[in-house]
A = this chain, B = another copy of it.
Amino acid sequence: MPHRFTYRVRFRECDPMGIVFHTHYLDWFEYARTEALRELGLPYIVIQDSGTTLPVVDLAVKYHESARYDDLIIIETRPLLSESKLRLTCSYRILRQADLRLLVTGHVTLCFIENGRTRPVPAPILLQQALGAGNA
């Protein structure tokens, strides 16, 4: 079961074509990721305050249909830890709530960096446990 986050499209996110400018879907991925981690019991701010940050390694997005101003949309997040525990990949689907049309699909992959270091480390144990539960 993916995590579901509902969001209202804002006027500032829409462009002269009357549709959401394409980079904002990436912002929404981040909002949904944050809420998915919170629901798993490990808010990103807790991870960060314990000295680990999660820079983005890569991402990819496919745009199927456009969201429009004031649309309510649903962002589905499926977080998955790599077998090495070195990478967290969140897969996304964005749907319009009114008609459940699929608007956007994509993924974002993050790694784990401890403060003051540059080489990635495995996911914090608490996150491994939280995601283990989430993925079970």
Contacts and interface: CB of A to CB of B under 8 A. Distances in A.
Copies of this chain per assembly: 4
Contacts of A18: 16
A45 B70 contact: yes
A57 B53 contact: no
Nearest to A10: B31
A22 interface: yes
Interface in A5-47: 8, 10-12, 14-19, 21-23, 26-27, 30-31, 34, 43-45
Given A43-B70, A45-B70, A69-B16, A59 B11 contact: no
A102 interface: no
A86 B43 CA distance: 38
Nearest 3 pairs between A and B by C-beta? Answer: A60-B60, A22-B56, A45-B70
25 contacts: A8-B31, A10-B30, A10-B34, A11-B15, A11-B16, A11-B34, A12-B15, A12-B23, A12-B27, A12-B30, A14-B15, A15-B16, A16-B16, A16-B48, A17-B53, A22-B56, A22-B59, A23-B23, A23-B26, A23-B27, A55-B66, A57-B63, A58-B60, A58-B61, A58-B63
Interface of A: 8, 10-12, 14-19, 21-23, 26-27, 30-31, 34, 43-45, 48, 53, 55-63, 66, 69-70
